Amino acid sequence: MIAAEVFDRHRGRLNAVAYRVLGRVGDVEDVVQDTWLRWSTVDPATVEDPEAYLVRVTTRLAIDRLRSAQARREHYVGPWLPEPMLTTPDVAERVALADSVSTAMLLVLESLSPLERAVFVLREAFGYSHAEIAGFVGKSEISVRQTAVRARAHVEAHRVRYDTDLATRTEVTERFLAACAGGDLRELIAVLAPGVELVSDGGGLAPAPRKVIVGLELVARALLTFAGRLPDAPSIRLEQVNGGPAIVVYSAGTPSTAVVLHLVDGLVQSIHLMTNPTKLNGLTA
């Protein structure tokens, strides 16, 4: 089998690993392309396990890219959110897989070191053994076990258990959208939790609050103000984004805003609002 065929067979897995490690669609494309360039110089017949080889290369490239990205984020304007990405409906139906790619989980993973994040992703999202991961990251199996335990404990301590029922999330997202579109403050407050928070990422390139907003009234009024400033004749759709329903606003066919809601007990606890135009490429079908 030729190199391109082998690579294409594993491309989906490589994209999935790189995205969960990096949280940036553009970086994922670069890492997978670099993996291909390295693979194209290898005779596939000499590689006993092509998947292991490709995942190892992708993981190490992603770790290096993440270290560089974290240094750049120290100068980022306002809150930073992972880049949203369109996903297929079947991802949303598989709860464990959807959770591993949710913007809430990706945000928690930001607090891990690049190595911890890679080990956590490979172990928890893809089920690789500690021995396999050791080969991927170039560490001993004992070291990987310790890193995996440390990373999992950190994630468990910082994550919020958001609602996963797809029907409930879709219903609340639709009610949220209707209230914002209609400028109905009362209806909007009805779907928000008392301690709701709004995290907006404009990156200094698009209108967005540069601090997290917390509380029913403040969040609701900020949302209605934002909705009133949308471009003329926008196209607003419910899309499957990061394993669940999300609101995506398109202007002249180009995504300009993405809103992802995270629910607790049927109410919106956290809102991720993305307007940075450089981080919306993953929403282009």
Q: Write down the domain spans for the chain.
A: 3-75+105-158, 166-283
pLDDT value, residue 90? 63
pLDDT value, residue 72? 78
Residue 2 has pLDDT above 90, yes or no: no
H-helix or E-strand spanning residue 259: strand 254-264
pLDDT value, residue 285? 63
pLDDT value, residue 98? 59
Q: Mean pLDDT over residues 24-46, rounded?
A: 94
Which residue has tokens 């693979």?
39
Task: Say whether pTM exceeds 0.85.
Answer: yes
DSSP notation for 47-71: -S-HHHHHHHHHHHHHHHHHHHHHH
Q: Mean pLDDT over residues 216-229, rounded?
A: 93
Instruction: Give me the chain's average pLDDT, please.
Output: 92
| CA nearest to 226, candidates 267, 261, 198, 204 | 198
| Domain with residues 166-283, CATH architecture | Roll (3.10)
Q: Identify the band that residue 103 occupies on the pLDDT scale cut at 50, 70 and 90.
A: very high
Say yes or no: domain 3-75+105-158 is CATH 1.10.287. no
Residue 217 has pLDDT above 80, yes or no: yes
Residue 62 has pLDDT above 70, yes or no: yes
CA–chain centroid gap for 247, Å, is 15
Residue 113 has pLDDT above 80, yes or no: yes
